[in-house]
């Protein structure tokens, strides 16, 4: 993202981050991202996205749960 920008419209933010527009709106509604409104335009405050990234990076990674049920047998390659 352009580090000189302070805000970005939802559609541009979605394209720049690779997040879907509906995901961005959900994150706004849940308070994960900060936005401002100028006229009819909703603009994402990019510093809130950078804070979110830093918080995610600092959080401990939860362990991956083991699958339930019997372990699957290893498949043999079909050499031939």
17-41 pLDDT, tens digit each? 999 999 999 999 999 999 999 999 9
DSSP assignment letter at 41: E
Sheet holding 35-38, edge to edge: 7-9, 41-45, 35-38
Residue 77 has what pLDDT? Answer: 67
Q: Looking at the predicted structure, is the pLDDT value of residue 68 above 60?
A: yes
- The two tokens of residue 56 are 């995610």
> Taking Cα atoms as reference points, which of 11, 19, 22 lies closest to residue 52?
19
Residue 49 has what pLDDT? Answer: 96
Which range (1-5, 17-21, 41-45) has the least confidence? 1-5
Averaged pLDDT for residues 51-79: 80
For domain 7-58, which CATH number applies: 3.50.50.60, 3.40.50.12160, 1.10.3720.10, 1.10.10.10? 1.10.10.10
Domain locations in the chain as residue ranges: 7-58
- State whether the Cα torsion 57-61-64-65 is positive or negative: negative
């Amino acid at each position: 993202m352009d580090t000189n920008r302070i805000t970005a419209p939802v559609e541009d933010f979605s394209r720049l981050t690779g997040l879907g527009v509906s995901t961005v709106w959900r994150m706004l509604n849940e308070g994960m991202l900060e936005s401002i409104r100028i006229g009819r335009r909703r603009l994402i405050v990019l510093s809130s996205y950078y804070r979110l990234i830093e918080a995610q990076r600092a959080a401990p990674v939860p362990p991956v749960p083991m699958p339930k049920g019997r372990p699957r047998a290893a498949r043999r390659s079909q050499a031939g």
